[in-house]
Amino acid sequence: MGKKRKSKNPGMIKPYEAMNVFKQSRKPLSVGELEKRVGLTKRHRKFVKNILKDLVREGKIIKIGSAYGVVEKMNLVTGKLQVQRSGAAFLLPDDKKRKDIYIHTKNLRDAWHGDRVTVAITGSHWGGKREEGRVVRVLERGKQVFPVRVIRPMGGTALLCHPTDPRLDFGIVVEPDEAVVNEPVLDDNGREIYPAESVDAEVDFTRVSRGDILLVAPGEQINPSLWEGRILKMLGDEDDAIVQEAIVKANHGIPTAFPGKVLAVADALPDEPVEEDFADREDMRDIPFVTIDGATAKDFDDAVFVEKIAGGYRLRVAIADVSHYVAMESPLDREALKRGNSYYFPKSVEPMFPEALSNGLCSLNPDVNRLAMTATIEFDKSGAPVNSSFAPAVIRSQGRLTYEQVYQGVILGEKEEQESLGDLLPMLKLCEELARKINKRRNARGSLEFDLPEPEILFNLQGRTVDIRPRCRNFAHQIVEEFMIAANEAVAEFLTEKEIGCLYRVHPGPDEEKLTNLFKVLRKIGISKQIPDPVTPQTLQEVIKDSEGTDQEYIVSRLLLRSMKQAKYEPDNEGHFGLASECYCHFTSPIRRYADLVVHRLLKVALGDEHQAIPGQKQLGRIGSAISGTERTAMEAEREILKRLTIIFLKDKVGEEFTGVISSIAEFGFWVEFQEVMAEGMVRLSSLGDDYYTFWSDRQMIVGERTGHAFRLGQKITVRLESVSLELLEANLSLVSGAEDYKKFV
């Protein structure tokens, strides 16, 4: 139902028609042969070549000399190349039915981590369990701009650099004294991937020294392990947190600037909604909504209000109506879809929308009129939802509250904080009362809660990391979380009933193989004798509860979490296993998640808005796949910046001893999480000189052949920090004490 794009090839030949011709042919075809078979002449060659170029880029055909052949007929597979830090590489096929294909380092040719490539199958690996292949062609570079670390001079003014991503194992040669060309970086298809206005043409590159970080665009290949590079920007000292964030953003292709036309559209919007915007909306400005967020939050996309009614409670959840200002297929919408979500870092944010919207017009700031989509849900006295309704509205938040304020004033009942909350206090007490009842019911249905701490990085005034500690969470956070889950479920159920379509938040059940292996380990260590039948959120929740307060609590939570599949966005409802919810979507954060914006548009149509454009079912599928990918990118970037800042934090602690818990085990060693600070490092088996050690995967243990010394998940040990490497993102440890007798676990 969205707008249709104009064909770039009107009346000539469609890509699928050309593909059918290739499939029907018994041999590869030249451009001329294809033209004849579809009834075109040389004057149409430009159109034909454009289609061939698109089919090559999509990995459906491959050029062989002057002809083109079908990839699948030539025992070739296309997909994304994933290189591990160990050097091992795998192709993740476009065809999701195929397993990953192993590629030896010598068969990578000029392909890099993240590239889309075509691979020829050459045999099998690991006893025939996995196909092996070699890269035939790079279809599309995954990275055309990336940060590098200056290693040393190379003669003259040239500098040898190395990508900061350890998976990019080659050198880059740059010339700092050359004038920086203020031109955009384009990909192979002429699309702008780095704007000219972001190229820093005024930096004095004569001051560049070893260890500095530059942003470069690679050029020509000099030899198999060396490329030319064009300097785009000087990022600075690698120990600076802001520089590390810039590295991670570049490594993951996270946009850091909005195109000019997008900013122009955002700047043209009013500072506040105008009277005409209030037409056909419920006026809820008299309802004392409040926002509850972190102390440093700047964008407020949800506000809540609770009141007592006959028989129970009424919850109102107001969510910023971003869709009122962002039309489908508009420049703002296309840029938001490209980003998929906002990206949060310890010292910066890359928002999905420009600040004019995210921190201004669409932020539910206190004491100003704001447009919202509201969910009103009535609960009985036990906290069970009875009915719900939805409406576009205009609201006026009456309080910008923080989690700490609510925790101290409402949960702890501190007098001073209660006085500061004033007239809002009775309503907030009702919020706590209702949230506890909803939470109790959600736990009763089996919603899984993994009580694993999240790290929080603390900086000093100079921007240096001074501590990494568990992020504080209390029931004030839970109040908001329970209300958002309730609103998300209510909207998903409403859209399902209306059969309008929905972009569901789907969480499949655990991976069967991983779950089987998990319970094998649990049986071996005496925690659980057999896998639950059936496997439901409730039965897994019982396993977690049975281990609470025991020495095995750590291992159960960790292994169970690792057996879970990743949640994703899909137009088909498969339920949310982790929340034990049969019908779930994301509705409550349209400022920072594109999925929520799509759901808002669908909700408006379900409520009778005839002017709102919405995506069709196939388009919903494409959107869901795209934003599930950007969500994974955000998660990977979050993990990488944490690891980088942790390594920098540990630099001056080399030689110190830490107590810790073994958090993960592999054939070559085990990882240890420190108790003094939220950081981890690895003890390699090669550093254990008292015995030959073997990894027992069925018990998740490492055991010495002679001494019987054992190391298992969850075991407490003392280690010494021997070295750290920002280049390899590693912290290497040695064992001080903590080995146990393996017979203890037999």
Nearest to 244 by CA among 319, 328, 142, 347: 347
Backbone angles phi, psi at 382, to 5 degrees: -90, -5
pTM given for the model: 0.86
Residue 455 has a pLDDT of 87
423, 324: one domain:
yes
Give the pair of three-digit tokens for residue 345: 């870092």
410, 495: one domain:
yes
The sign of the CA dihedral 62, 251, 100, 565 is negative
pLDDT > 50? residue 6: no
Domain limit, last residue, from 118, 140, 162: 140
68, 82: one domain:
no
The residues facing 718 across adjacent strands are 659, 737
CA 604-606-610 angle, 5° bins:
65
- Residue range 65-98, pLDDT digits in tens: 788 888 877 778 889 999 987 778 999 998 878 8
Residue 8 has a pLDDT of 44
Q: Is residue 361 part of a domain?
A: yes
Please report, rounded to a whole number, the percentage of residues in the chain having pLDDT higher than 70: 93
Q: Is residue 705 part of a domain?
A: yes
Nearest to 471 by CA among 485, 451, 443, 448: 451
Q: Is residue 429 part of a domain?
A: yes
Determine which of 281-295, 499-513, 595-609 has the lowest per-residue pLDDT on average.
Answer: 499-513
SS3 for 79-108 is EEEEECCCCCEEEEECCCCCCCEEECHHHC
129, 273: one domain:
no
Q: In what order do the strands lie in the sheet with 61-64?
A: 29-30, 67-70, 61-64
Q: Is residue 100 part of a domain?
A: yes
413, 343: one domain:
yes
Determine which of 59-68, 202-211, 458-467, 649-658 has the lowest per-residue pLDDT on average.
Answer: 202-211
> What does the alpha-carbon distance between residue 105 and residue 294 come to, in Å, rounded to a whole number?
46
602, 619: one domain:
yes
Mean pLDDT of 324-328: 96
Domain range for residue 38? Answer: 15-72
Q: List the CATH number of the domain containing 51.
A: 1.10.10.10
- Residue range 483-528, pLDDT digits in tens: 999 999 999 999 999 999 999 999 998 888 888 877 877 777 666 6
Q: Are 698 and 522 in contact (CB under 8 A)?
A: no
468, 616: one domain:
yes
Q: Is residue 577 part of a domain?
A: no
Q: List the CATH number of the domain containing 693.
A: 2.40.50.140
Q: Is residue 516 part of a domain?
A: no
pLDDT > 60? residue 689: yes
Q: How confident is the model at residue 101 (pLDDT cuts 50, 70, 90)?
A: very high
Residue 130 has a pLDDT of 83
Domain limit, last residue, from 603, 637, 671: 637
- Residue range 397-421, pLDDT digits in tens: 999 999 999 999 999 999 999 999 9
> What does the alpha-carbon distance between residue 262 and residue 356 come to, in Å, rounded to a whole number?
11
For the chain, what is the domain count?
A: 5
Q: Are 510 and 535 in contact (CB under 8 A)?
A: yes
Residue 179 has a pLDDT of 55
pLDDT > 60? residue 5: no
66, 86: one domain:
no
Domain limit, last residue, from 36, 53, 72: 72
Q: Is residue 198 part of a domain?
A: yes
408, 315: one domain:
yes
481, 349: one domain:
yes
- Residue range 192-230, pLDDT digits in tens: 666 666 666 666 666 778 889 999 989 888 988 899 998
112, 161: one domain:
no
121, 165: one domain:
no
Q: Is residue 642 part of a domain?
A: no
